[in-house]
């Protein structure tokens, strides 16, 4: 039931989520304020944050896959219904993102970081002054990112659980690599001087509806494709 296309589309939808881009911009800004003339600090700090996000999400993925694997043992006769439920879940999160593209509201349920969490994340990121701090913060911040990124991840983890735990791990690595690609691009643009950190943050705010629209369309289509077996 698993295909390369399904995993790729789900990962792409997750990767354009505004949450992770916003937090990365805050971390880069904090490092830049402390080290205004040291671009390497920004590069190393950004890469450390991304590495922490990659590792954290990989760990979360293994836990979710194991939960689905355990669940399938008890509901073996109903596995096809679980599979269809994952497809509908993908469509639901897609619809929520499309709704945000049309009627945007900060902190929307299932698509963005809740408003009450944002001051806490800002306080954490404002304390970063080093590469080590970025790495540690990356682990902490992923917990705050889960409300806005967990949807596609639950869907793909459910699909991957069909393969068995060990066989699912390479796919999980592939998914998370795609997830961090936009963040790697941002780091590269800032380090090479093609963009400033405040420009990245401003671009995200200006295009937040478009990001939600792209994520929403991808999620809805992949859910529909899974439901009817098109890919």
Is the model more confident about 24 or about 55?
Answer: 55
Q: What percent of the chain has pLDDT over 90?
A: 12
Under the banding of pLDDT at 50, 70 and 90, the label for residue 62 is very high
pLDDT beyond 60 at 7: yes
pLDDT of 210 strictly over 60: yes
Six token digits for residue 229: 């077996």
CA 103 to chain centre: 22
Question: Measured between alpha carbons, how far is residue 149 from residues 1, 20, 38 in Å?
Answer: 23, 9, 32
Does residue 178 carry a pLDDT above 90? yes
Query: 204: buried, middle or exposed (CB in 10 Å: 19+, 13-18, 0-12)?
Result: middle
| CA-derived radius of gyration, the chain | 18
Please state the rounded mean pLDDT for residues 18-25: 78
Whether residue 110 has pLDDT greater than 90: no
Angle, CA of 190, 138 and 175, to the nearest 5°: 85
The percent of the chain in helix, strand and coil, each rounded to the nearest 5, is 85, 0, 15
d(CA 34, CA 188): 20
At a CB cut-off of 8 Å and minimum separation 6, what does 148 contact?
Answer: 17, 18, 19, 110, 111, 112, 113
Top pLDDT among 58 and 31 is at 58
pLDDT at 37: 65
Poorest-confidence range of 115-119, 195-199, 205-209? 195-199
When pLDDT is cut at 50, 70 and 90, the band that residue 190 belongs to is confident
pLDDT of 103 = 86
Tokens 């998370």 identify what position?
A: 176
Position with higher pLDDT, 57 vs 191: 57
Q: Which two tokens stand for residue 151?
A: 């949807």
In which residue are the tokens 């439920």 written? 85
- Rounded to two decimals, the pTM is 0.86
Domain boundaries, the chain: 4-228
Cβ contacts of 92 within 8 Å, gap of 6 or more: 151, 223
Confidence band for 171, pLDDT divided at 50, 70 and 90: very high
- Token readout for 56 is 């954290």
């Amino acid at each position: 039931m698993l295909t390369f296309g399904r995993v790729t589309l789900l990962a792409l939808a997750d990767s354009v989520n505004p949450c992770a881009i916003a937090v990365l911009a805050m971390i880069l800004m904090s490092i830049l304020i402390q080290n205004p003339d040291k671009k390497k600090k920004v590069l190393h700090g950004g890469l450390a944050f991304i590495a922490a996000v990659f590792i954290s999400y990989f760990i979360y993925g293994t836990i979710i896959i194991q939960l689905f694997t355990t669940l399938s043992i008890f509901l073996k006769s109903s596995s096809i219904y679980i599979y269809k439920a994952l497809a509908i879940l993908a469509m639901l999160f897609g619809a929520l993102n499309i709704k945000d593209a049309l009627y945007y509201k900060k902190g929307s349920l299932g698509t963005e970081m809740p408003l009450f969490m944002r001051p806490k994340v800002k306080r954490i990121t404002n304390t970063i002054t080093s590469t080590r701090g970025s790495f540690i913060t990356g682990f902490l911040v992923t917990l705050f990112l889960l409300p806005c990124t967990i949807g596609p991840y639950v869907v793909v983890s459910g699909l991957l659980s069909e393969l068995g735990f060990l066989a699912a791990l390479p796919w999980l690595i592939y998914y998370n690599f795609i997830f961090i690609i936009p963040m790697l691009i941002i780091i590269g643009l800032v380090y090479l001087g093609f963009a400033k950190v405040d420009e990245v943050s401003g671009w995200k705010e200006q295009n937040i509806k478009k990001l939600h629209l792209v994520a929403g369309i991808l999620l809805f289509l992949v859910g529909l494709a899974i439901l009817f077996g098109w890919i």
